[in-house]
Copies of this chain bind each other. A is one copy, B any other.
Amino acid sequence: MVDRKRIVVIGGSAAGPKAAAKARRMDEHAEVVIFQKDADLSMASCGYPYYVGGYFDDRNMLLSTPAGIVRDPKFYLNAKAIDARTLTEVTSIDRKGHTVSYRHLATGETGSMGYDKLIIATGATPKMPPIPGVNLKGITTLQSMKDADFLRKVRDEGLIKKAVIVGGGLIGIETCEALQLAGIDITVIELLPQLLTFLDWDLAKLVENHVRSKNANVITGNGIAEFLGENGTLTGVKLSNGTELPCELAVVAIGVSPNVKLAKEAGLAIGVTGGIEVNEYMQTSDPDIYACGDCVETVHRITGKKVLAPYGDLANLQGRVAGENAVLGNTVTFPGTIQTGICKVFDYSAGSTGLSETAARKNGYEDIVTVMNASTDKPNYMGGELLITKLVCERSTGKILGAQCIGPGNVAKQIAQWAMAIQAGMHVEDIVNADLPYAPPFSLAIDHCIATAHLMQNKLKGRLKGISPTEVRKKLDGKDRPFFLDARGPDEYEQTRLGIGETLIPLGALRKRLNELPQDKNKEIICYCKISLRGYEAALVLEANGWTNVKVMEGGIVAWPYAKEK
């Protein structure tokens, strides 16, 4: 290689093409080559569930630029002067010789190509459970264009009546919605006790209730023991507990493993998580080789630990960094992830950023406080929709560690706000008087996230003694049941109520009816209302009148994930 630098990119999905394009922009005269195993390039793979679900019909929209041009090899050559070779697999990397060997998958033709800098963006492969029947016809994942084409055909043909989704994570839930929209009877099967493990159990359970309300079945805490079939075709699944469910289709979505075979065989360092090890420049253990996207591990910006974060947005950002550094030398850095994620779940959205309570405890954070808040996203008169947020903070400092939000309201905006706050290292005190865009079509006068910060502030100051619905539920089984005070109005009580032995005293009557409260001023009293604003005020009234053990059930009735009397 004389004066024209050659950048070779392995992988043509998200990170690879982004790295190649950035490399081109950084050096118009470099030679840039992409090797892509699949037939398509630069697929919007996060869009597959929506194509399957019928949100749009033109497959090419998944492959097009904003201007509507399909990103095929011709496009890459003309618009970006990038040599993109599809159906071509890189079979090995010779680091010493600065060469990759490749094979054309259709013709079998092989060859090798030298590189100045190599960028590995080999992505990840869906995990498959190591159980009998896994190769039956009718079992698929939703990870490739081919998978998407297959499931879209299932939708369009309308022949399949029953399907199971194995795995209740992001992809599983998105696929559940897509197939339910196709009129298929769905059961989601999740080995763990909850769906969407980026949420804590209490919020995940509320999401699960919503999924069930859409006539999709959910089985948690139970795995698949066997795929059942006849003549090589799937006819059902057998669960670990022996239950058999007939089905003609199974979509497996139990996570992905980084594709590190090439890197490993080339002797590159593989991290503890199983992803390719890279430094902040997205550089591997070989200075001439960068890596980006689902095949690498990255740093969790809060815990400092290495994690896998196979998200489409990060792949693009990492690709951009790798592409620039491959051309210019190490100039830009990628700071890592706070594992921000979001998922549409029928009429709900569910999102998380930073650490959940579970993740925080798992990572050794003991000194944390959580709070739940429920409110609409904008005023009722503008058609406000419910949001339920759980915030996790460090007790000693008030530093925000994580936030989760679910509901039919504008969850994305809430999570975006918290994600910015967490990345900036903000504390609760920085949010309580935040100046955010308020007008009735967009938010409450005190935005849901600010109100959440107010609750956290009250909790940190010891004013709000909150208790989660989960903890309340546990108390129902105990011997000494607390006194439950529902502070709503009689009309609301008639419409819906928990039925946990509560006493209804509307907040507006409470001060006159204190005689109906327990005589024992040390008796545990738990107050709530629909969203526990009135519950909080009721608790303050009781405390001011001498009761010493008064708590507020956070989030109120709308955050109660269990069965209700009414």
Query: B-contacting residues of A (Cβ < 8 Å)?
Result: 14, 25, 27-29, 44, 46-47, 50-51, 55-56, 58, 61-62, 64, 66-69, 75, 78-81, 170, 174, 301, 311-317, 320-321, 333-344, 349, 351, 353, 375-376, 379-382, 410, 412-413, 415-417, 419-421, 423-426, 430, 432-443, 445-447, 450, 454, 463, 488-489, 492, 507-509, 511, 529-531, 533-534, 536-537, 540-541, 543-545
A343 touches B380 (CB 8 A): no
Known contacts A313-B435, A316-B445, A344-B442; can you find 9 more A-B pairs with CB under 8 A? Answer: A25-B537, A66-B533, A174-B439, A301-B435, A351-B437, A410-B412, A413-B413, A413-B416, A415-B436
Q: Is B79 touching A507 in the complex (CB atoms < 8 A)?
A: yes
Which of chain B's residues have a CB closer than 8 A to the CB of A534? 67, 79
Cβ 8 A contact of A435, one of B337, B488, B545: B337
Q: How many angstroms from the CA of A380 to the CA of B353 in the assembled complex?
A: 25
Is B508 touching A55 in the complex (CB atoms < 8 A)?
no
Query: Which of B29, B79, B433 is A508 in contact with, Cβ under 8 Å?
Result: B79
Show 29 A/B contacts (Cβ-Cβ < 8 Å), sorted by A. A25-B536, A28-B540, A28-B545, A44-B379, A46-B438, A46-B439, A47-B379, A55-B381, A58-B381, A66-B375, A69-B508, A75-B508, A174-B439, A312-B445, A313-B446, A315-B445, A320-B454, A336-B435, A337-B435, A349-B442, A351-B437, A416-B436, A419-B435, A419-B437, A420-B420, A420-B424, A421-B424, A423-B435, A424-B424
- Inter-chain CA distance A533–B80, complex, in Å, is 12
Report how many copies the assembly holds: 2
Cβ B434 vs Cβ A419 within 8 A? yes
Would A450 and B317 count as touching, CB distance under 8 A?
A: yes
Assess whether B317 is in contact with A433, with CB atoms less than 8 Å apart: yes
Q: Inside 8 A of A529's CB, which chain B residues have their CB?
A: 67
CA distance A478 to B416 in the complex (A): 44
- Among A81, A334, A434, A488, the one with the most B-chain Cβ atoms within 10 Å of its Cβ is A434
Secondary structure of the A contact surface, majority rule: mixed
Q: Which residues of B contact A509 (CB under 8 A)?
A: 78
Closest CB of chain B to A44's CB: distance in Å? Answer: 6
Choice from B80, B463, B530, B544 contacting A29 with Cβ under 8 Å: B544
Q: When chains A and B are docked, how far (Å) is the Cα of A443 from the Cα of B531?
A: 29
Given A376-B66, A435-B353, A436-B419: A47 touches B381 (CB 8 Å cut-off): yes
Q: Which residue of B lies closest to A433 (CB)?
A: B317
Residue pair B62, A14 in contact (C-beta under 8 Å): no
Contact in complex: A416, B433 (CB < 8 Å): no
Contact yes or no, B412 A434, CB < 8 A? no
Residue of B nearest to A384 (CB): B66
In the bound assembly, the distance between CA atoms of A221 and B443 in angstroms comes to 32
Question: What residues of chain B lie closer than 8 Å to A537, measured between beta carbons?
Answer: 25, 79-80
Expressed in whole angstroms, the Cα–Cα distance for A481 and B512 within the complex equals 81
